[in-house]
Amino acid sequence: MAIMQMQNKFTELEACYGQLASWCNLLEAIADFLPCHVDERLCDTVTGGLIPLLQATHGLEEHVVSASLHAIMPDHDRVEAENRRSTERLFDMDAAQEVVDVLLALKNGDCRLSWDAIAYLLRSFFCLMRRRIKAEREIVGQIRKALTRHEGMTLLDAQRATEVV
């Protein structure tokens, strides 16, 4: 994948992280104000959009970050890191599904969890997401630096090759 294409994908991934972070803020506000009436439109927005956003984010992580880990770590470390990251994505999806299920139950008026349990579940999710976003942003930053260095070296090598001819 060309460097410019890769940079565009990193920008797209950052947009996903920004949207996920905004949703974390929204879920935190809901958790802070429980027990309160949770707006049905808000529930519809989160329940309809959270899983697809997470899937898109994970897809970009797999396509862009996983494909670029070689730039910042040796093969034996990369395999272990990718296995760990894959497991984390599964946990993310499970936690997101629990949030969706609880919000749907709240909307329908048939949630069997206490207000404290709901708040704890929401907090667990958005704290997990914030930590993951921070960690992934750090990895992306390292990859971008490594690719930029590599691109600079490639341009320099190309210049030297044309000077020799």
Q: Which of 94, 60, 67 is nearest to 82 (CA)?
A: 67
Task: Report DSSP letters for 1-21, one per residue.
Answer: --HHHHHHHHHHHHHHHHHHH
Q: How many residues are there in the chain?
A: 165
Q: Give pTM, 2 decimals.
A: 0.83
- Using a CB cutoff of 8 Å and minimum separation of 24, what contacts does 17-20 make? 17/57, 17/133, 17/136, 17/137, 19/53, 20/53, 20/54, 20/57, 20/129, 20/133
Asked if 61 contacts 85 with a C-beta cutoff of 8 angstroms, the reply is yes
Q: How far apart are CA 101 and CA 63, in angstroms?
A: 28
Q: What is the CA radius of gyration of the chain?
A: 20
User: What is the residue-level pLDDT of the chain in tens, covering all 165 positions?
Assistant: 556 677 788 899 999 999 999 999 999 999 998 888 788 888 889 999 999 999 999 999 998 888 888 888 888 888 888 899 999 999 999 999 999 999 999 888 899 999 999 999 999 999 999 999 999 999 999 988 888 876 655 444 434 433 444
pLDDT of residue 130: 97
Measured at the CA of 94, the angle between CA 134 and CA 51, to 5 degrees, comes to 75
Q: How far apart are CA 51 and CA 40, in angstroms?
A: 18
H-only helix segments in 69-114: 75-108
